[in-house]
Structure 1
Amino acid sequence: MKRINILSKILSIALVVLGLLSCEEFLDRPTIDNYNVDNFYQTDEQCFQAVNPIYNSPWYDFQRGFFKIGEVLSGNFYWGASPYMTFTINSTDQDLVNMSASLWAVNAYCNGTLENIDLKAGPEVSEQTKLTVKGEALVWKAMAYFYLVRIFGEVPIVHSNSAEISEGDYNSKYKATIPNIYDYIIMTLEQAIEWLPEKNETGRIDRYSAYGLLSKVYLTKSGYGLDGSRNADELQKAAQYALKVIDNSGRDLLPVYSDVFRLESNDSQESLLAWKWKASRDPWTQNNSLQSDLALPKFSEFADTWGGYNGPSVDLQDAFNENALSLNRENTDRRRKATMMMYSDNYDYFWADKGGFDWADFCLNELNEIQSPTGANCVKHLVGNNNDHVLGIGYGMQGMATSLSTHLLRLSDVYLIYAEAVLGNDASSSDAKALEVFNKVRARAYGIDYAEFVGTSLAATSLSFDKIWKERRLELACEGDRWYDYVRLHYYKPQEAIAELKAQRRSSYTGLFSFYESGTLDTDVTYYDKNPVIPNITDDSFTLPFPDTDLTMNKHLMEPAVEHNISEYSY
């Protein structure tokens, strides 16, 4: 698809509220034929409908790359010959092209919404509605820039699409420095916090969504440009904002970890920020298509799943103390089964009308092969068959279209952000609150009530960076987040980040079918890759190249960044 002036077109689409088509619950949108930008925004309901598309449609083309960057690059997921496995992504990579376009589309949607609320909102619209809607748009804008800076590094700041298009310099903007971009994200979230209510409608962004994201931004920024340590003031702010969520939001972890990723929990109290999808192909972009990329063939009855021959990496299995060269699953960390399906795993929430889904039985008897070079397949982002979708949300799915929310920021993430920020640059910490939230994450993982868990040998009595680092990996595995942990580690400990990635077991097994079919391990037949390729990871690997389409549009993307005065921007 040609992208000539695509960002200009994105703005025009945003200004008429793209995707005002029927949806569900708080994502309801009127038909576009009934309204134009001049007669819309006349009621509170219409203003909320205007921001609803930003919860899904402009993010759609970011989905696939989101998983490949977050999980394949980071070594959590094996994906065959993908360049994300080998750090050989180039500027023509289609996923990269789609991701860039998607993130700039989100920014344009958000800018258009802010402008339209200010200019078009009718006299019947309440001031609280205006502020809330603008606050939601600002959080999504901040999230888009948070991805942009962690993927591409220095990027332009497009504060107002319409103003810059009218001035004729939209495609000639200079990049801002990385500190500039983080300051811009922080300014954006601070304004969102001022505008957003403490409690919003279920599933919508509220003030604590912004606080949680701001804590993660500060934790990430704290190490940039430093050597071996992090900025103490920014770590303190990360802890401060995380604590607001922990102590004041009224949120708590769901008791059962696997429940977080079920349709019934789309709008759970644990989810602070999520893409909200609708199982509809009209329009194509409001639907979640991740099951198609990640599930085994025949997993749904729509012939729309092709996720075989990839799966959670051997290195991630190692982190869970799991072993595909075993027929017994003795691991007691329940997150493993909720993240990756392996031999002897049965899931009652998949294929409920058929008595559950048994991974080994399905592979050996239905597929007649093990369609995973690592002995595991993905669980997160899957719904199951159509009956499972009906049981979960009350209606069916369609081909490549489910309604399962994609959680981008969860409460457990904020707990671990707080623990890491409190630890800061120290070698260890016994801070009571940090230990409490850290152990709540672990207690849930092992299915033990927190009060009982703290008396067991599984509970931490002191914290270290390595403990928190590993816990983040296990808690958030296959949620599209892990690579960004390496990006922020590389900010202040580059060689440590490179060394850890190079040391991973990122390759595959040979002969798994023979082992699982016979039940007897013959190490001459079934074994891990004896000559795995070690990717050539360098400092340059931690920013991805701009797509050629972007470089064609703006020649300044190839030039050094220019210092921006962030105080000149305002909302």
Structure 2
Amino acid sequence: MRLAVAVGALGLGLLFSCSEDFTNRPSEDGISLDDYYSTNEQVASATNGMYARTWFQFHNKFFFAVAEVGSGNMYTNSSDVNSMRNFSITGSDPELYNGWNSLWANVAQSNAIINFLPDRVGPAVSEEVLDNTIGEAYFMRATAYFYLVRLWGPVPIIENNLAHVDQPQLNTNRVEDIYTLIINDYQTAIEKLVEKNRGANYGENGHVSKGSAKAMLAKVYLYQQNYTMAKQLAEEVINSGEFKLLGGSAVPGKSFSDLFTYPNNNNEESIFALQWITDGNYGSASNCNTQFGISTAAITTSNASYGGVFAPSQDVLSLFGPGDVRRKQTIMLPGDEYPEIKVKLGEDDGTLIVPAADQIGGQGAGAAIKKYCIGIENGTTTGPIDAWAMMENNTYIMRYAELLLIHAEAVLAGGGSSSDPAALASLNAVRNRAGLESVSSFTFEDLFTERRKELCFEGDYWFDLGRIPRTQAINIMAAQNRGNQWGAEYFTPEDSDFLLPYPSTDVAKNPKLLEPPVPYEF
């Protein structure tokens, strides 16, 4: 991390020389703050890069290698991403460093906008536009720290990177202090962000809103078992009508299958999604279509020369019950037909009929991932591709279906079961959209399973396992078949496996990472 690079990329014109550490992580994009923000349009565009490039190395492999392979949802035997399958990840893992680096890039970029943008806008810029942009930065910093604390536990709190130029070696701070920062940041985002109504003009829905911040904060409170605040915020979002369940009563012309298609980027259900773009630069678009799906000499769902880095685990192949429409839109099994997905069949193009289990390729899982797999380039169906066969279909960080499940769980509030009408309305809306019948009561285990089915391959199950009693989580994971179609494998995590090791390179530069966390003075 070069402060000269990070700060220079933000146009602050400061050239410092110091050791590389997370206090000056590169910004990952080309935002400049010098002599640029003279109009509302320019200020509003300041955060555009923070919806894609700052998240790229987190999302490209790390996110799925940890949250999905680690949780037992995905299987892979690719050497660069399979260490969490048997809980053998170390501080020298390159993808571990990429994920860590990317999250600190988000923090650094957010800090630059929060601390320096107000002094670099012209008189024609409205206060509302400036506030909204700064609110987006607070939202992004809170989200980055929400991932950091759940993945690593104690990490340093950095609110202004330039404040640590002379002392780049920092202690970590207590987990409770990090959550205080996250809550404060989301609350500030709620105050500053504009209100929206997610309508049918999807082009207007890309940036986060006041409702997005409330939804994310509801999730934070749920993780802290502050059910009162989680319920209150979830109900504020639900009652606002901003977000709608795609395929639910408010958007009946769509379905669960439409959620993960390019034409439905930024749909009514999207609360916060990464916004990929094929701008000719590596790291601006999404690689999911290549890394999921099918890749053999005979059939491939990607324009790349490789594919199928990740596959469904054997454990999730039986996750979905009869009549659950989410199965086919989550996991591709032999014989499934997808007329909307174009594939390469040798030298010809065709539509996808999933081949036999031993012909799917990839990782030998006998199945493939459907979510985020949209097929070879096909005009408006898939959008464009770049030189690396990456595409522009969004990646959800949070969508309305999860907010409904958060609401139901907050009403349950740790109890044995609930038949509360409002909670049932939220839960059953998700179930009905999936083609399942309504239930008249539910338990936490019911909700926990519903979350896994609804959000499978979206990066949540690892964190769900991390917030239940540790013995229960260990027992769940120890019982998972983490092998492929030809041989079962089982691995039992230890308590320490639920937090990742700090990257070795950063520990060498900042040994204080290994010291006990200290309180943070706000």
Report if TM-score (shorter chain) is over 0.5. Answer: yes
Residues in 1 aligned to 2:108 and 2:363: alpha-carbon distance in whole angstroms: 39
Shift of 1:178: 0.7
Matched letter for residue 121 of structure 1: V
Residues in 1 aligned to 2:373 and 2:386: alpha-carbon distance in whole angstroms: 12
Equivalence map 1:403-414=2 (5 Å)? 403-414=392-403
Equivalent residues, number:
483
Q: Look up the match of 1:428.
A: 417
**Distance 1:304-1:10 versus aligned 2 partners, 3 A rule:** farther
* 1:429-476 residue CA offsets vs partner (Å, 9 max, x unmatched): 011011001001011111xxxxxx7xxxx3111010010000000000
Q: Look up the match of 2:37.
A: 41
Residues in 2 aligned to 1:42 and 1:284: alpha-carbon distance in whole angstroms: 29
**Secondary structure, aligned partner of 2:69:** helix
Residues in 1 aligned to 2:175 and 2:235: alpha-carbon distance in whole angstroms: 26
Q: Look up the match of 2:17.
A: none
* 1:461-510 residue CA offsets vs partner (Å, 9 max, x unmatched): 10100100000000000111210111111xxx111111111111222222
Shift of 1:295: 2.9
Structure 2 residue 158 is matched with structure 1 residue 182: no
Q: Please, which of 204, 207, 213 is the counterpart of residue 207 of structure 2?
A: 204
Shift of 1:199: 1.4
Shift of 1:406: 0.3
* 1:200-223 residue CA offsets vs partner (Å, 9 max, x unmatched): 84211000000000001111122x
Residues in 1 aligned to 2:6 and 2:497: alpha-carbon distance in whole angstroms: 30
Q: Please, which of 188, 191, 195 is the counterpart of residue 191 of structure 1?
A: 188
Matched letter for residue 444 of structure 2: F
Shift of 1:395: 4.3
Shift of 1:279: 2.2
Q: Look up the match of 1:328.
A: none
* 1:271-292 residue CA offsets vs partner (Å, 9 max, x unmatched): 1001000123x22221111222
Matched letter for residue 447 of structure 2: I
Structure 2 residue 500 is matched with structure 1 residue 544: yes
Q: Look up the match of 1:521.
A: none
Q: Look up the match of 1:305.
A: 306
Q: Look up the match of 1:463.
A: 442
Residues in 1 aligned to 2:502 and 2:215: alpha-carbon distance in whole angstroms: 29
Q: Look up the match of 1:254.
A: 246
Structure 2 residue 95 is matched with structure 1 residue 102: no
Q: Look up the match of 1:274.
A: 273
Shift of 1:160: 0.5
| Bigger Rg, which one | 1
**Secondary structure, aligned partner of 1:149:** helix
Matched letter for residue 272 of structure 1: I
Shift of 1:372: 4.5
Residues in 1 aligned to 2:404 and 2:147: alpha-carbon distance in whole angstroms: 21
TM-score by structure 1 length? 0.81
Identity %: 33
**Distance 1:319-1:44 versus aligned 2 partners, 3 A rule:** same
Shift of 1:300: 4.8
Q: Look up the match of 1:449.
A: none
Matched letter for residue 428 of structure 1: S
Gaps of 5+ in 1: 18-30, 223-233, 322-330, 447-452, 511-528
Shift of 1:113: 1.5
Matched letter for residue 107 of structure 1: V
Shift of 1:370: 4.6
Q: Look up the match of 1:230.
A: none
Shift of 1:8: 5.6
Q: Is the 8 A contact 1:383 1:402 kept in 2?
A: no
Q: Look up the match of 2:473.
A: 497
With 312-321 and 8-17 compared, the bigger mean Cα shift is at 8-17
Q: Is the 8 A contact 2:262 2:383 kept in 1?
A: no
**Distance 1:212-1:7 versus aligned 2 partners, 3 A rule:** farther
Q: Is the 8 A contact 2:338 2:351 kept in 1?
A: yes
**Distance 1:549-1:14 versus aligned 2 partners, 3 A rule:** farther
Residues in 2 aligned to 1:350 and 1:89: alpha-carbon distance in whole angstroms: 35
Q: Look up the match of 2:391.
A: 402
Matched letter for residue 508 of structure 2: T
Shift of 1:7: 5.5
Q: Look up the match of 1:359.
A: 354
Q: Please, which of 205, 223, 226 is the counterpart of residue 220 of structure 1?
A: 223
Q: Look up the match of 1:76.
A: 73
**Secondary structure, aligned partner of 1:356:** strand
Matched letter for residue 474 of structure 1: K
Shift of 1:120: 0.4
Residues in 2 aligned to 1:533 and 1:197: alpha-carbon distance in whole angstroms: 50
Shift of 1:371: 4.1
**Secondary structure, aligned partner of 1:386:** coil
Q: Please, which of 477, 481, 502 is the counterpart of residue 460 of structure 2?
A: 481
**Distance 1:371-1:564 versus aligned 2 partners, 3 A rule:** closer
Residues in 2 aligned to 1:46 and 1:405: alpha-carbon distance in whole angstroms: 23
Residues in 2 aligned to 1:540 and 1:426: alpha-carbon distance in whole angstroms: 28
**Secondary structure, aligned partner of 1:274:** strand
Q: Is the 8 A contact 1:290 1:381 kept in 2?
A: yes
Structure 2 residue 331 is matched with structure 1 residue 296: no
Shift of 1:303: 3.0
Shift of 1:115: 2.4
**Secondary structure, aligned partner of 1:199:** coil
With 87-96 and 248-257 compared, the bigger mean Cα shift is at 248-257
Residues in 2 aligned to 1:148 and 1:355: alpha-carbon distance in whole angstroms: 43
**Distance 1:214-1:304 versus aligned 2 partners, 3 A rule:** farther
Q: Please, which of 343, 348, 371 is the counterpart of residue 334 of structure 2?
A: 343
**Distance 1:302-1:556 versus aligned 2 partners, 3 A rule:** same
Q: Look up the match of 2:20.
A: none
Shift of 1:304: 3.7
Q: Is the 8 A contact 2:270 2:400 kept in 1?
A: yes
Q: Please, which of 6, 12, 15 is the counterpart of residue 8 of structure 2?
A: 12
Gaps of 5+ in 2: 14-28, 198-203, 248-254
Shift of 1:356: 2.4
**Secondary structure, aligned partner of 2:491:** coil
Q: Is the 8 A contact 2:477 2:492 kept in 1?
A: no
How much is the aligned-residue C-alpha RMSD, in angstroms?
2.1
* 1:302-340 residue CA offsets vs partner (Å, 9 max, x unmatched): 3343216x511111122214xxxxxxxxx3211111111
**Distance 1:371-1:263 versus aligned 2 partners, 3 A rule:** same
Q: Look up the match of 2:159.
A: 159
**Secondary structure, aligned partner of 1:172:** coil
Q: Is the 8 A contact 1:296 1:305 kept in 2?
A: no
With 550-559 and 471-480 compared, the bigger mean Cα shift is at 550-559
**Distance 1:416-1:15 versus aligned 2 partners, 3 A rule:** farther
**Secondary structure, aligned partner of 1:73:** coil
Q: Is the 8 A contact 1:386 1:397 kept in 2?
A: no
Q: Look up the match of 1:265.
A: 264
**Secondary structure, aligned partner of 1:552:** helix
Shift of 1:15: 3.9
Shift of 1:163: 2.4
Q: Look up the match of 2:19.
A: none
* 1:136-175 residue CA offsets vs partner (Å, 9 max, x unmatched): 111111110011001101000010112222xx12x22111
Shift of 1:74: 0.2
Residues in 1 aligned to 2:84 and 2:444: alpha-carbon distance in whole angstroms: 27
Q: Is the 8 A contact 1:413 1:472 kept in 2?
A: yes
Shift of 1:9: 3.0
Residues in 2 aligned to 1:542 and 1:211: alpha-carbon distance in whole angstroms: 27
More helix by share: 1
